[in-house]
Every structure is written in C-alpha cells, then in structure tokens.
Structure 1
C-alpha cells in the first residue's frame, strides 16, 4: 500500500486552533446537511400537508429512530477512535483490518435494526401514547425509513473512517449532494405526486442510499491504507473486540440518552397536537446547537486520538483547552441569536400561530442554558480519544439519563406543564458537566503522570 499521501491528513503537527477549525467546519457543514434530511421533510410536510404530518416526521418518530441510529453511531465511535490511533501511530495494516471490521459491523447492525424497526414500529408508537390523528402518518414514515437503515449506517461509519484519518471534506461533499437530492425528491414526491408523508420518507431513503454509494466508492478507489476491498469485508476478532470495547460504552450512553428522550417525548404527547408540533419544530431549531457541539466533539476526539497515538501529550492537553473555549463561545453566541430570532425560524415549519407561540416558549426557556452542556461534549470526546469510554458512559447515564427520568416521574406529576418537562434538560446538563470536569482533571493527572 502506498502511504506517500497520508501525511496530508495528519493533525499531529501545526497550529492547534487552526487545525481544529479546519477540521470542525467541514464537520459542521456536513452535520448541517445531514440534519437537512429530516428538516426538509418537516418543512415540506408542515407547510403543504399539515401539523399532524409535521408531528409524524419529527417528534415521536425521530425519538424512536434515534434510539437505534444513535446507539449504533455511538458504537461506531469505537471504530473512529481505533482507526485514528492506529493511523496516528503509523500502524497501517491495523488500520486496514479495522476498516473492514467496521464496514461489516455497519452491514450487520443495519440489517438487525431494519427488521426490529419495521416489525416493532406499531408497538413503539402505542407505547409512547401517540395521538390517533398522528398514528397512521407516524407508522408509515417509520417503516419506510427503517428500510434504508443499512445504507444509513454504512454512510455514517464510512464517513467516520474518513474523519478518523483527518479527511472531513469528502463526507461533507457527499452530504451536500445527497441532501440536495433529498430536497428535490421531497418537492417531487410531496408536492407533485401528492404522496404526503410517504413521499418524504421515500425521498430520505433514496438519498441515504446515494450517500452510502459515494462513501463506499471513495474507500474502494483510494490507494491508501484505509482502502476498502469488498472481498475482505469481515470481522477481525481483535479489531472487533477493540471497537466494541471503546464503542459499546458510547453506544450505551447514546441509548440511555435516547430512552430518556423517549420518555420526555411520551410526556410531551400528553399535551396535545399543538405542543407536539411545537416540540418537533423546536427540535429542528435546537438541532443547530447539537450540530455545533457534535462537530466540536468529533473534532476533539479525532485530534486527541491521533496525537495521543503519536505520544504528543502536551499537544493533547492544549488541543482540549482550545476546543473547549471555542465550543463555549459558540454555545453562548447561539443562545443569544436564537433567543431573539427564533420566531422567524419557526415560521419555516408552520403558519399555525398557536404552534409558533408554544415553540417560542420552549426555545426561550432552553436556549439560554446551552452553555451548561459544553463540558459534557468536549471532555467526553477527549476521554474517548484517549481510550477511556467506560467511566464517561457511567457519568452520562447517571447524571443525564437517570436523573432526567427521575425528574419526569417525580416532578411532572406535581407540576404537570411543559416547563417542568423541559427543565429536565438544564438540570441534568449542569449536574453532568460538574461530574465530567472532576473526572477529567483526575484522569488526565493520573494518565499523563504515569506516561
């Protein structure tokens, strides 16, 4: 295998803040276009089909889908960290084994999730108290969406492979193309063919297959150590074990996040269609924050992974500090912008003034508290990059998920309103941030002192 071009993806040298931003912006734009998959669906059906359809393509269905997709993407971070460490340490044969194991994991996981999702959709929707007027829309959207699960996971893990070696540009280009295709198909299927929610779901699935093909062709055609050979796609026992060791905690952490959000969505469903639609639209606006934080999180994970693998510990610590400052500044700035301009964004999703007003109540309550989450994303990503995934999982599960569930069961029956429900977010973010700060200081002192 040729390695003469590999240095162009190395982030073990150079100005730290420039490299983080150079890596961050393609990730941010990539996540933005990935978010546009479901956002375009929500805008088109919300404007041209109705608020029941808007509630169906977001809200309950998104919460259920995220249980499966989020869990797998969490597990796939084990592949990203493993590949980035081997790549940073110039262990190219191990990079190749990890790549083929990761793709096999995507195929296997996608097939299992597809079957579970299609068969289990009715029971899941009923369990979440989905209103009768939304149920038919939600059921058909979910079943069609799950048909594209293998392609969804192949793209995500393929993009993770490219990012692990420092290439965040091509996943961005692929997402832009597939997102534009999704938007075009949304208008074609929903507005022209009048397929409603079915059209939005079909458009998303076709676009996901398109992005999966693009990322696979990229991996197949390269001459670098991460080249994909179709006849070599299989599990390598030692690589799978390492991927699972790092990835399972992150996957379980994501699963717990999703389950707690399922509980919150189920509680929101009790407040009626207007609140569900407002929560769905807010979720798309709130997605801006999660795009930014997620991009910083992946950036710092990959940066730490490569530099830690190369033994550059001072650079690791400086990179984490720089990334934290940038993430905090972004969170505060976004809070200000959304608090004053959120109503204009809500109008993209619906013309129903009751829905807009309810959505703005939610946004003005939560947006000013975004800064309380930053420590969780940056420190958990940094710790995963150094190979520590178990304790961050425990901290997140206890501080975010368990506490959030307890709040819903204890506080909401006493004060049954939407404000009580959504207060669970800043309460758990702040608590978990404190836990992460304490653990991060203890872990890095011990780890770097030993090295």
Structure 2
C-alpha cells in the first residue's frame, strides 16, 4: 500500500500520530453532538410531548446502529490490520464485504420498522396520544431511510482504518450546517416552508445524512485518494466466505453488545415513562447533552482502534501499550471537565431545552447525577476501542452486557426507595463507574499477555 496517500500509524511519534488521526474524528464527534442538540433545541420549542415522542422514535434509530456496528467494526478492524500488514487486496475485499452487509442490514431494518411501527412503539406504553403520534411520524421517516446513516457509519470506519479522518470530518461539517439551516425552516415553517414540526426535524436529519454520505463517496474519487481501498470496492461481487466470517467474528460481539445495550435502555425508558412525558423528555434530551462526553470518547476510541489494529498487524505491541496510556490521560482529563460543567451548571444547561418548570427540575437532578460518572464513561469507551483493535470484541461484549444489564435490577431496587425517578439516574451512573474500572483492568491484563 502506498503510505504517501494513506496515513501509516505504525511509525513516527505516538502522540503526534494519534493526534493527527484523532483530532478530526473528535471534531466530527463534536459535530455529531451539535447535530443532535440542534434537533432537540428546535423540537423543545414544540414542548415536552414532542421531545418525548422524538425520543421514543429515536430509540429505534439507536437500536439500528447496534446492527450496523457488525459491518462497521468488523470492516474497520480487518481493513486496518490488513493495512498494517501491507495487504492491499485483503483491505479492499474487507471494505467491499462490509459495505455489502451494511446495505443488506439497512434494507431489512427499514422494512421491519415500517411494517411494525405501531407494535414496536406500543412497547413503551405511551399513554399520551400526542406523544405517540410524534413518535410514529419520527420513526417512520428516520428508520425508513436509515440506509444513509448506515453507510455513513461504515464509510467513516473504513476511512479511519486507513488513517484518513479528515474526509469524514469535512462531510459531517457540511451535514451539520445543512441540518442547522433546515431545522428551523422545516420545524417552525419559516418563510415559504410549511410548518412540519416533528416531521420537519426528521426530514432535516435524513437530508443532512444523505449529504454526508454523498460527500464521503465523492471524496473517494479525488486524485489525492487514489490508493483509498474504497476506490476499488466491488459492491456487487461476492467475496470469499472467509472475509464475511472474519467480519462477523469481530463485528458480531460488538453488534450484540450495541443491540442489547439499546434494548436495556428501552426497558429503562419504559420504567421512566411511568413518571410522565417530562421524565421521558429529560432522559432523551439528557442523553443527547451527555453525548458531548461519550461521542468525543467514542471518536478518540475510533482513532485508537485503527492505531491499535495497524500496530497489531505490524507486530508492534509496545507501541500499542504506549498509545493507550497517552489516550487515557487525554480522555480522563476531558471526562473530569465534563463532570465539572454538568455538576456546576445543570440549571443553565437544562434551561436551553426545557421551559416547563417541573420538567426543568427533573432535568437539573439528571444532569448532576449523570455528570458524576463521565470520566469513567470515557475510560470505558476508549478501552473498548483499544480492545476491539486487537480483535478482542467478545470480551468487550461480555463485560458490557453484564454490567449494563445490571442497570435494570438496580433501577428497580432504587426506584422502590425514596429516590423514586432519580434511582434510575443513579443506576446509570453507578454502572458507568463500574464499567470504567473493569475495562481498564481488563486492558492491562490483555496488554500484559501481548508482551509475554
């Protein structure tokens, strides 16, 4: 592979190499956070019922990402390891297979969501007809056209596997600008545009996702990207079965983890719904605000994943350990900063999205409790990226599923006390702290074995 066109992550200063790859990805993650917050801010103008409805419909968009992560993670790790070995043909085959699986999963998921929209939403036992109507509209549009977000997810992974994080950043920047323009126009009906409210927010989101996809596809064919494996993808050619097997072996546990994580969150959301639309709105908007932490950590984890995978393919285990330590210091610092902001300024942050006094009070409590676990959340996300780069996705899934699953019984116990609704928030925070500690200890053990 011509290393002049794609970034070699196996040589050079570790800090500079990681920074060069990670900064555009982290910037893209910030854009993703701004993307979600922009939607919620405009929907918030419509009231807590609209926010709750979008949150419920959006749960199935989140569920879909668990399925897509099979192709994304399996493709990204295999492409990166192939690049580390200098095996261009294998990298192209893995990229082709990953995109094929992405398209198949997208069409299947869209079909299920469109056919079974009402039964799927009935799971949440939404007692308010208006909230239900908002959820149905949002789900049909965003899940029906989930192909765009699926392809963006996988394309970003394959770009990053080759050490190119700039193109996804540029694509996401353009998409964010478009979303920020379309949201007020379509939600509120400014100028000649009709007032579409929740449907407008969904259309703005899908349109922006389409533009992001188009920019990334266009970037493949630029002259400077002649050695990009995506340039030589054969989307309609069947690959060797070992290619698909390897993608499923590495990506399967991640997909299972993501899917079960979302299902657990859906059960918790059903528990939250018993406290009314305001509680649901707080959980969904709070999750979007918190994404400033986990989206950034996930962005850095994506960079570390490619760094670890390439160096693992090249047999440079000492470089892997040093890269993890550097990344950990950066992410813990970021997590502490986010904690300070959430705990010290919860009312100021919440007032940007909520206008009803009773809902605002719920949101303030949420921000303070959730804020306490942000540094541990960053450690968890970063370590999952590192372990996945080594191909250890199974152990990541086991830890995550067990500890995340414990949120349900813990929440049941805590809500039965005087804590009430805040017991659910404490269940989220306590398990995040536990996961951060366990994942860090696991990586230490795995990396020690690599050195032996």
TM-score (norm 1): 0.93
Alignment of 1:201 with 2:202, yes or no, is: yes
Total equivalences in the alignment: 444
Q: Which residue of 2 aligns with 1:218?
A: 219
Alignment of 1:185 with 2:182, yes or no, is: yes
Q: Is the 8 A contact 2:95 2:233 kept in 1?
A: no
Distance 1:357 1:4 in 2: 54
Q: Which residue of 2 aligns with 1:161?
A: 158
Give the counterpart of 1:432 among 428, 432, 435: 435
RMSD: 1.9
Residue segments in structure 1 that go unaligned for 5+ positions in a row: none
1:399-448 per-position Cα deviation (integer Å, ceiling 9, x unaligned) = 222x1122234443455611111111222223333432343233222232
Q: Which residue of 2 aligns with 1:388?
A: 392
Q: How do 1:313-392 and structure 2 match up within 5 A?
A: 313-392=317-396
Give the counterpart of 2:36 among 23, 27, 38: 38
Q: Which residue of 2 aligns with 1:83?
A: 79
Please state how far the C-alpha of 1:323 moved relative to its aligned partner.
0.8
Distance 1:365 1:416 in 2: 12
Alignment of 1:423 with 2:420, yes or no, is: no
Please state how far the C-alpha of 1:386 moved relative to its aligned partner.
1.0
Deviates more, 1:223-232 or 1:324-333: 223-232
Q: Is the 8 A contact 1:74 1:254 kept in 2?
A: no
Change (3 A) 1:231 1:172: same
Deviates more, 1:439-448 or 1:132-141: 439-448
Q: Is the 8 A contact 1:34 1:175 kept in 2?
A: yes
Residue segments in structure 2 that go unaligned for 5+ positions in a row: none
Distance 2:369 2:361 in 1: 13
1:66-122 per-position Cα deviation (integer Å, ceiling 9, x unaligned) = 111233125411111111111111111111111111111111111011111222221
Distance 1:68 1:164 in 2: 22
Q: Which residue of 1 aligns with 2:145?
A: 148
Alignment of 1:106 with 2:102, yes or no, is: yes
Q: Is the 8 A contact 1:159 1:171 kept in 2?
A: yes
1:297-327 per-position Cα deviation (integer Å, ceiling 9, x unaligned) = 1121111111111111111110011111111
Deviates more, 1:9-18 or 1:106-115: 9-18
Distance 1:148 1:369 in 2: 34
Alignment of 1:23 with 2:10, yes or no, is: no
SS of the residue aligned with 1:23?
Answer: helix
Give the counterpart of 1:117 among 100, 106, 113: 113
Q: Is the 8 A contact 1:399 1:428 kept in 2?
A: yes
Q: How do 1:294-313 and structure 2 match up within 5 A?
A: 294-313=298-317
Give the counterpart of 1:277 among 275, 281, 289: 281
Q: Is the 8 A contact 1:78 1:246 kept in 2?
A: yes
